[in-house]
Homo-oligomer: A and B are copies of this chain.
Amino acid sequence: MPEVTSIIKDIFIIYAAAKLAGEIFERLRQPAVVGELLVGVLIGPYALGLVGVPSEPLTQLFHNDTATAKEALHIVYEVLAQVGVIVLLFFVGLETRISEIATVGARALAVGVVGVAFPFVLGFGMASVVFNDNLLAAFLGTAMVATSVGITARVLRDMGVIAGREARIMLGAAMIDDILGLIILSIISGIGVGEANPVQIITVMASAIAFTAIATLIGTRIVKRYSLHMDRLRTSNAPFALAVICMFGLAALASYIGLAAIIGAFFAGMMLAEAEDHYELETKVLPVYELMTPFFFVVMGMNVDPMLFTDLNILGLSMAIIILAILGKVLGCGLASWGLGARSMAIIGFGMSPRGEVGLIVAGLGRSLGVIPESLLSAVVMMSIVTTVIAPPVLRLLYSGVKSVEAKRSSLLGRA
């Protein structure tokens, strides 16, 4: 299998580059995750090309069709990245008790709803003025809706504040936000293909809400009641094996329903948090987290073509979208956090800003339906990157003054 051998070399390069960049950024007092994103751009196919370029044996396997070989290689990377972000959210879930989310439930709901409404309205408004096309505007608005909570979760975990109030609100809001985004997407893509079937939309809504309710309410109770029976299994380290099965299973189920896979993984983690005291799952999952998560961040960076930033038209459009995207979340989520103090409002606003891959999926769908032009797709790509890269240093800055008892408490809990 010489074609696989070259991919093992890529895996080595990705992992080593991630850790080297992380170490350098830590020494510069910057978040390691930004180092991982940027090193991905650097080693990726658009810059140095150390990875992402199919080897000769791989290309031969696809009858010397380089484009196809590249696509196949890309899928391998995307799978590694997806497993990485699934493990990341699963781990965050393991550190989260449903009871803790429940204490901030109403607030998370408000942050989720208002944080969806503001960016949608801003994106829709801008695009309908510039492009004079309501369907296009609706797609852009939707692409600006959903937070990708992975980056924020990673930064908060690295700082040891993942168990804090703001983190719990953001995790709860990200669930709400994902469900709302899904519902909006199902409506506008229905309109896009010319059939906004109300039955289908209600089915999507109902299954998303049912999945969330079952996983968070019933799932946690089942784990609480029956998890001790895992000791009866013959498989070595059965609780860990069941945890992994649960993680992949709920991730797959969530994406089957149309939710983000990471939301399913987060639910799986939160369910198993109820069995944490007995089985020390966090300690066991931590090495898997450390192995896999760098792939998500480096591969995100690898997908970026820095040359995009040289086209002035795209750059202008991107700047507008970026500003509205950040403004939408900072104003929307910030206002919904009214009463928590200015610092918490800012933390929640910026923490909810990263769009990660969710916006890209929506924009890509709009593109495949012929609604969104290529230039706008590039601008959404840039928005996704910039909102993602900006969040970690801003969050670090906002937290830098916080030396509360809570932060100390959670830093003890947050690090295994």
A83 adjacent to chain B (CB < 8 Å) = yes
Contact residue among B8, B61, B248, B357 (Cβ-Cβ distance under 8 Å from A15): B248
Chain B residues whose C-beta falls within 8 Å of the C-beta of A415 in the assembled complex: 236
CA distance A209 to B16 in the complex (A): 26
A255 adjacent to chain B (CB < 8 Å) = yes
A6-53 contacts to B, CB under 8 A, are 7-9, 11-12, 15-16, 19, 22-23, 26-27, 32
B71/A22 in contact, CB under 8 A: no
Closest residue on chain B to residue A78 by CB atoms? B4
Closest residue on chain B to residue A65 by CB atoms? B68
B290/A287 in contact, CB under 8 A: no
Given that A26-B235, A248-B12 are contacting pairs, would A79 and B76 also be in contact in the complex, using a CB cutoff of 8 Å? Answer: yes
Which of A4, A261, A415 counts the most chain B CB atoms within 10 A?
A: A4
Report how many residues on chain A are interfacial, defined by Cβ distance under 8 Å.
61
Interface residues as binary, A225-262 with B (CB distance below 8 Å gives 1, 0 otherwise): 00000000111111011101100110110011000010
A408 adjacent to chain B (CB < 8 Å) = no
B76/A8 in contact, CB under 8 A: no
A312 adjacent to chain B (CB < 8 Å) = no
CB distance from A261 to the nearest CB of B (A): 6
Closest residue on chain B to residue A23 by CB atoms? B235
Which of A26, A75, A245 counts the most chain B CB atoms within 10 A?
A: A75
A285 adjacent to chain B (CB < 8 Å) = yes
A5 adjacent to chain B (CB < 8 Å) = yes
A288 adjacent to chain B (CB < 8 Å) = yes
Chain B residues whose C-beta falls within 8 Å of the C-beta of A241 in the assembled complex: 19, 290
A130 adjacent to chain B (CB < 8 Å) = no
A3 adjacent to chain B (CB < 8 Å) = yes
CA distance A241 to B20 in the complex (A): 10
CB distance from A154 to the nearest CB of B (A): 12
Per assembly, the copies of the chain total 2
B23/A233 in contact, CB under 8 A: yes
Contact residue among B75, B248, B291 (Cβ-Cβ distance under 8 Å from A11): B248
Chain B residues whose C-beta falls within 8 Å of the C-beta of A405 in the assembled complex: none
A72 adjacent to chain B (CB < 8 Å) = yes
Chain B residues whose C-beta falls within 8 Å of the C-beta of A249 in the assembled complex: 12, 16
Chain B residues whose C-beta falls within 8 Å of the C-beta of A23 in the assembled complex: 233-235, 238
A132-173 contacts to B, CB under 8 A, are 158
A1 adjacent to chain B (CB < 8 Å) = yes
Chain B residues whose C-beta falls within 8 Å of the C-beta of A75 in the assembled complex: 3-4, 7, 58, 61, 72, 75-76
Chain B residues whose C-beta falls within 8 Å of the C-beta of A235 in the assembled complex: 19, 22-23, 26, 32
B290/A291 in contact, CB under 8 A: no
A101 adjacent to chain B (CB < 8 Å) = no
CB distance from A288 to the nearest CB of B (A): 5
B72/A8 in contact, CB under 8 A: no
B234/A5 in contact, CB under 8 A: no
A86 adjacent to chain B (CB < 8 Å) = yes
Kindly list the 6 A-B residue pairs having the minimum CB-CB distance in the complex, ordered from nearest: A12-B248, A26-B234, A72-B72, A9-B252, A5-B255, A284-B287
A-B contact pairs, 19 of them (CB 8 A): A1-B357, A1-B361, A4-B82, A5-B256, A8-B79, A8-B248, A9-B252, A12-B252, A15-B245, A16-B245, A19-B242, A27-B234, A72-B72, A72-B75, A158-B236, A236-B290, A240-B287, A241-B290, A284-B286
